[in-house]
Amino acid sequence: MIKGSYLTRLATKDLATDIVGLLRGMKILVLWTLSAKAEGDRGWRSPVEVLKQLIRQVLHMSHSLLDEQSTALSAVRFQSATTETDWFAVLGSVLEGLSHVYIVIDAEVMSR
C-alpha cells in the first residue's frame, strides 16, 4: 500500500502509473484504475462502475475465462448483479484460479 498526502497526490499517482507499467512489462496480471472521474467528465464514477472496469480488464487479459464452459462467467450472473456486493462476487469469480494478480486503485476512486 502506498499512502500519500494531498500535497503528494500527483507524485503518488505517477508512482502508481509507473508500478502498473512495470508489472505489465513483466507480464504480471495487474488491474488498475487511477482516475475518479468518469469518462467524458460526467462526474464521479460509482464503486460499481469501478468494479465493472476491473472485471473487463480481467476478461480482456485472460481470454481463457471466456470459453462457453466457464461456470464463473454465466450471463445470468452478470445480468443479475446490481449491488456492490454482487459485483465484488463477480470480480472474485473471475479472479478465481489466477495465481498472482495485483490490483492498483486510487483510494479517491472508492471514497466517493
pLDDT of residue 73: 61
What is the per-residue pLDDT for 9?
Answer: 82
- The model's pTM is 0.77
Name the strand (E) or helix (H) holding 80. Answer: helix 75-80
Which cell is 70 given? 466457464
Helix (H) / strand (E) containing 103 = strand 102-105
The pLDDT assigned to 18 comes to 93
d(CA 55, CA 94): 7
pLDDT tens, 1-38? 788 888 988 898 899 899 999 999 998 889 988 775 55
Tens digits of per-residue pLDDT, 34-57? Answer: 775 555 555 677 888 889 999 989
